[in-house]
Amino acid sequence: MDLFNEIASKPGLRIEALKIKNYLGIKRERTVAIGPQGSIVSGGNAVGKTSILKGIRDALISNGVKPENINGDADMSRISVTFDRETVTRTVTRDGDTSLKIERDGARVTEPAKYLKTMIGSLNLDPLSLLGKTAKEQRDIICASMPMRITRDELAEWWPDCPAKFYTDEHAIAVVENARKTAYADRTQANKNVKTATDALARASKATRDAKAAFGKRSPGDTCGEVRAEKDLDTARTNLIKLEQRKEQAAKHETSLSAQRAKVADLRKQAVDATEKSKEFALSDEVVDADDDALDDANKEVDRINAEIAELEKLLANAKQAVDAALQKTVANDAKLAEQAKLEKQATDATTQADTIESAIAATAPETVTDDDIATAKKAVDDAQAYLATEQQFRRNVATYTQATRLEKEADTACTNAEAVQKKLDDAVKALTAAPAALLAKHNGIPGLSIDGDTVMLDGKPLAGLCGAEQLEFCVEIARRGNAKTRIILCDELERLDPERREKFIRDAERGGYQLIATLVTNGDLMIEDICVIESDGE
């Protein structure tokens, strides 16, 4: 095993003596022996108590070894800290030159800075000074005292859906707390998402029920009615158009036949006139019968006269005259009857011609369309439109129902997914809430410790919220962990604690083989008193 591995594996150190010269409040040179369990450096103000404590710290970690800390007019300061095998010496001059020398078993170490760092690890905390630090300083000190790292894969054991690039380059407790807060925020959003999804599902379910109720007992697949309605509407519209066209054609036809109808009217007038004129030549049956009787009587008279020619020649001449007169009347009557027959024939011909023309007009005329026919056809169109509107509304209701059903399924899936995410995040929050305890147990941390931003908490309470005893115990635990390599604790101003707490502080600080070097303000000169703590079974 080489030298560095040997000192790195060494479990603890013991300061045996301190030699300090011209540093801060120490004039010339002074040697201080340190007890195995530690020493209490006491005395009045300005006697060098803090100079001794600071001298040890500065010699080992080189924080304050500066020219301005050289006492008085001296040219240089030197601090030597002696352990069981090593002596660490640090020197500073007025010019600002510093040097570090380490001797091991009397032999000089060739790489003193590396050796010192390997040997002491850290020695940077006065337990009682922790409470006076800012929140961020407290956080940094506490994290440094219990170094813990966690990878994204390790974090995923508690939070499987942890983002791939989640920031883990800080203390594990802080990483876990940030992860818990992130998961908690995500869960809060997931809760809202579940509420939103649940509400959306309820609305979608209601919309589905409403849409289903809109078309009653009909099956959503029964969409043939709209086709029938469209066909009926087309038929009704076609019939109406045909009727309107026929009515228009009839009107046009009526206009185009005005000349023929005028001719028919003229013919009928001619027939009436001929009929009326024929009446002028008409003889009554009484007249004709009388004339016929007169002729018969004349013929009889002729016969009688002829029989009595001799006797009645005079009367014969008169009878002939009467016959001639009767014959003339008969001829005249025949002429009148012939004229009457002619006029009656003309009237009959005119009537027949008019009837023929009217028959031809009637044969070629469109079918008569009444206003009632048009009204009936329009009502059929309106009824067909209403039926179509009903069927179209049914189709829209079916479409609404189909969409509502789809949205309900999507909402149900979204709700299920949201609940699954919520469940995962809820499990993650619970796991991350319990994770710090597991980490602290694994890394020998302080039970109940948590970190929220820059605020360090113990059992959920910030340090300022702890009682005095709890604060003291916590500070000691941090100091012990912060100086685990050297097992040396340096503490200034023990007078801040009452005697009872001071005694407990000393016992807690030295527990497990730690060495405590502390200062205490008293009356009188500088005194170095070894600490001797007897641990009982109950301690």
Domain regions of the chain by residue span: 1-121+494-539, 258-364
Based on its alpha-carbon atoms, the radius of gyration of the chain, rounded to whole angstroms, reads 69
Angle subtended by helix axes 468-482 and 499-510, to nearest 10:
30
Cβ count within 10 A of residue 11: 8
pLDDT in tens, 258-299: 777 777 778 778 878 877 777 776 656 676 677 777 777 777
Is-contact 8 55, C-beta < 8 A?
A: no
Tokens 């036949």 — which residue?
Answer: 257
Q: What is the pLDDT of residue 162?
A: 92
Tell me the residue ranges of DSSP E strands in 153-293.
none
Under 8 Å CB-to-CB from 404, ≥6 apart: which residues? 204, 207, 208, 210, 211
pLDDT in tens, 188-238: 999 999 999 999 999 999 988 888 887 677 777 776 777 888 888 889 889
Secondary structure of residue 168 in the 3-state scheme: coil
Tell me the residue ranges of DSSP E strands in 25-73.
26-33, 38-43
Helices (H) and strands (E) in the chain, counts: 13, 13
For the chain, which residues score pLDDT lower than 70?
A: 1-5, 7-9, 11, 62-64, 122-125, 215, 223, 281-285, 287-288, 302, 305-306, 308-313, 315-316, 319, 362, 364-366, 533-539
357/265 Cα distance (integer angstroms): 11
Under 8 Å CB-to-CB from 268, ≥6 apart: which residues? 350, 351, 354
Tokens 């009837």 — which residue?
Answer: 355
Alpha helices (H) along 443-484: 468-482
Q: What is the pLDDT of residue 537?
A: 41
Task: Retrieve residue 46's tokens.
Answer: 């300005």
Closest among 426, 417, 418 to 158, alpha carbons compared: 426
Task: Retrieve residue 118's tokens.
Answer: 């390997």
Is-contact 20 30, C-beta < 8 A?
A: yes
**Could you tell me the pTM of the whole model?**
0.55
20/78 Cα distance (integer angstroms): 6
Is-contact 125 137, C-beta < 8 A?
A: no
326/62 Cα distance (integer angstroms): 185
**CATH fold group of domain 1-121+494-539:** Rossmann fold (3.40.50)
Secondary structure of residue 93 in the 3-state scheme: strand
Is-contact 115 107, C-beta < 8 A?
A: no
Is-contact 487 83, C-beta < 8 A?
A: no
Q: What is the pLDDT of residue 346?
A: 82
In order of 161, 163, 266, 435, 444, the CA distances from 430 in angstroms are 14, 18, 115, 9, 22
Rounded to the nearest 5 degrees, what angle is found at the Cα of 343, between the Cα atoms of 339 and 347?
170
328/290 Cα distance (integer angstroms): 15
Task: Retrieve residue 65's tokens.
Answer: 């070894």
Q: What is the pLDDT of residue 538?
A: 39
Q: In this structure, what DSSP letter does residue 277 have?
A: H
